[in-house]
């Protein structure tokens, strides 16, 4: 094991990008720990191989995170790469979306990443090496209507990552911010399932537009998850150090242009794109 990187990936549900990350890093001869919440672990059984182990990990639980990190470091003495991939959708208009749903998005998408960081960093700092890869989103840079909660949680990931990158530099720890565009996965399905629980009042006339936004990343031109994961793994494994940011996937170029555009241009585009220009 001395020459092989030990990689911990969170949120590895089958059909998701995390599942593909595990295979991509294993192909780089890393020893990968594929993690997810207990009820999803059986779905990861076909990932198990010489290069991949599965482990229980709930990013919203201090106890679960501590136990997983202890298990890995006890076995291998280190974690070389932490890939904070676990995340959930949070679709709906901010003026009506329940605060509990918004709170859960922050807990999983932002605080879940920081919880892993706080448990893993002491081990990396002791060795003066390691890479932390935080998965944000292109919509963390350019937020969209009908997904403000999710966009805000990913914007928090961006801010956290940019601060950590400087704070951890004295300890030889790299911080990489990944900003996916539209990547084909089961994410859209999960978002649609959440919408089924809500009955909008102010926005009942916009239900179709809200549902369209929930599915927006899952279009025919969406980047294949395996292609995306291989691209990220290749960049993270670069020597002497990985890049500070990885922006990749369908629509990333367009969103970068939007990020440079005047706010009125951006607002007008989203106003029309997500049917907010209809008369009530």
Give the residue extent of every domain in the chain: 6-273
Q: What is the pLDDT of residue 174?
A: 98
- DSSP H helical segments within the chain, as ranges? 17-26, 62-76, 99-106, 112-127, 148-167, 187-195, 207-214, 225-236, 252-260, 263-273
Contact 120, 82 (CB under 8 A): yes
Q: What is the pLDDT of residue 280?
A: 72
3-class DSSP state for residue 205?
helix
pLDDT(1) > 60: no
Active site residue 150: yes
Residue-wise pLDDT for 96-116, tens only, equals: 999 999 999 999 999 999 999
| pLDDT band of 3, cuts 50, 70, 90 | confident
Residue-wise pLDDT for 133-151, tens only, equals: 999 999 999 999 999 999 9
Q: What is the pLDDT of residue 279?
A: 72
pLDDT(206) > 70: yes
Q: Per-residue pLDDT averaged across 145-166, rounded?
A: 98
Q: Per-residue pLDDT averaged across 82-94, rounded?
A: 96
**Rg for the chain, CA atoms, rounded:** 19
Q: Which helix (H) or strand (E) holds 175?
A: strand 173-180
| Catalytic residue from among 21, 150, 194, 203 | 150
Q: Over the chain, what is the mean pLDDT?
A: 95
Cα-Cα end-to-end distance for the chain: 64
Q: Per-residue pLDDT averaged across 225-231, rounded?
A: 97
Active site residue 19: no
Give the CA distances from residue 11 to residues 99, 123, 166, 180, 227, in Å, rounded to whole numbers and listed in that order: 23, 21, 26, 15, 18
Give the CATH architecture of domain 6-273.
Answer: 3-Layer(aba) Sandwich (3.40)
Q: What is the pLDDT of residue 2?
A: 59
Q: What is the DSSP string of 7-64?
A: EEE----TTSHHHHHHHHHHTTT-EEEEEE-GGGGGGGGGG-SSSEEEEE--TT-HHH
| pLDDT band of 192, cuts 50, 70, 90 | confident
Q: Which two tokens stand for residue 161?
A: 């990552």
Sheet containing strand 130-135, strands side by side: 52-56, 31-36, 6-9, 81-84, 130-135, 173-180, 245-248
| pLDDT band of 179, cuts 50, 70, 90 | very high
Q: Per-residue pLDDT averaged across 80-100, rounded?
A: 97
Q: Per-residue pLDDT averaged across 237-254, rounded?
A: 96
In terms of residues, how long is the chain?
280
pLDDT(247) > 90: yes
Burial class of residue 2, CB neighbours in 10 A (0-12, 13-18, 19+) = exposed
DSSP state of 183: B
Q: Which two tokens stand for residue 241?
A: 């150090």
Name residue 84's beta-bridge partners: 134
Q: Per-residue pLDDT averaged across 243-252, rounded?
A: 97
Q: What is the pTM of this model?
A: 0.95
| Catalytic residue from among 5, 23, 154, 194 | 154
């Amino acid at each position: 094991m001395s020459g092989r990187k030990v990689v911990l990936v969170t949120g590895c549900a089958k059909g998701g990008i995390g599942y593909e990350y595990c295979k991509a890093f294993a192909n780089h001869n890393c020893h990968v720990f594929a993690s997810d919440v207990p009820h999803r672990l059986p779905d990861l059984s076909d990932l198990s191989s010489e290069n991949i182990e599965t482990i229980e990990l709930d990013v919203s639980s201090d106890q679960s995170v501590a136990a997983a990190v202890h298990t890995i470091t006890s076995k291998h003495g280190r974690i070389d790469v932490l890939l904070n991939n676990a995340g959930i959708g949070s679709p709906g208009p901010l003026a009506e979306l329940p605060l509990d749903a918004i709170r859960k998005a922050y807990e999983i998408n932002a605080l879940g990443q920081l919880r892993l960081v706080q448990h893993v960093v002491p081990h990396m700092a002791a060795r003066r090496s390691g890479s932390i890869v935080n998965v944000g989103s292109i919509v963390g840079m350019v937020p969209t209507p009908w997904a403000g909660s999710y966009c805000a949680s990913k914007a928090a990931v961006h801010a956290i990552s940019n601060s950590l990158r400087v704070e951890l530099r004295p300890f030889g720890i790299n911080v990489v911010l990944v900003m996916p565009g539209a990547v084909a996965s089961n994410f859209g399905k999960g978002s649609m399932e959440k919408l089924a629980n809500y009955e909008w009042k102010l926005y009942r006339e916009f239900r179709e537009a809200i549902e369209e936004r929930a599915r927006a990343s899952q279009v025919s031109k969406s980047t294949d998850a395996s292609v995306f994961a291989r691209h990220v793994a290749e960049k993270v494994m670069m020597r002497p150090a990985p890049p500070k940011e990885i922006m990749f996937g369908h629509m990333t170029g367009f969103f970068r242009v939007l990020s440079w555009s005047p706010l009125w241009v951006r607002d007008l585009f989203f106003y029309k794109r997500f049917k907010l220009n209809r008369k009530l």
